[in-house]
Structure 1
Amino acid sequence: MSAIDSFPITRRWPPRDPRVLQLYSFPTPNGIKVSTFLEESGLAYEPHRVTLDDTDVKSPEFLSLNPNNKIPAIVDPDGPGGRPLGLF
């Protein structure tokens, strides 16, 4: 069990590599900005497609990470003190 397993969102969109940033997004202008930054900066990340449909953005799993039901959202498995950090 990895440290990011404590985030309910990982039950719906399980990570293949829990050691890298987990990006939950959709290819909208705001979603693309974050994935472009991650690509350009060379940071390792794993994308998860979260549609704008209510079944995704209003799911309990997604709302547990971002209560505003907006993409993008990220789980950093190596946050402050080595503990995972959710960002939205």
Structure 2
Amino acid sequence: MSFEGFEILARDKDGYENLLMQVIFNNQIICELSKRDNSNEIEIEFFFDAEIYSGINLKFSFDEFLKYLNFAKNELKNSCGL
């Protein structure tokens, strides 16, 4: 899914029992959502590196961000059978 600079990617990552969902804004990973092993909990990990983000505007609509977080969470839950 992609809209207004946001993109959601499903990824398979070593060490994770299930898929994880990356929330990307203007080609930069903002955060990842993943299911905790042996749990129904969804975790979110935020990424920030001043060198990577230098010169990139990371200001965006809070409502749009929540919409994409909820979309990513629901996709992750569906892929995990939650």
- Higher-helix-fraction structure: 1
Q: Report if TM-score (shorter chain) is over 0.5.
A: no
Question: What is the TM-score when the length of structure 2 is the normalising length?
Answer: 0.29
Question: What is the TM-score when the length of structure 1 is the normalising length?
Answer: 0.28
Q: Larger RCO: Structure 1 or Structure 2 (Cα < 8 Å, ≥ 6 residues apart)?
A: 1
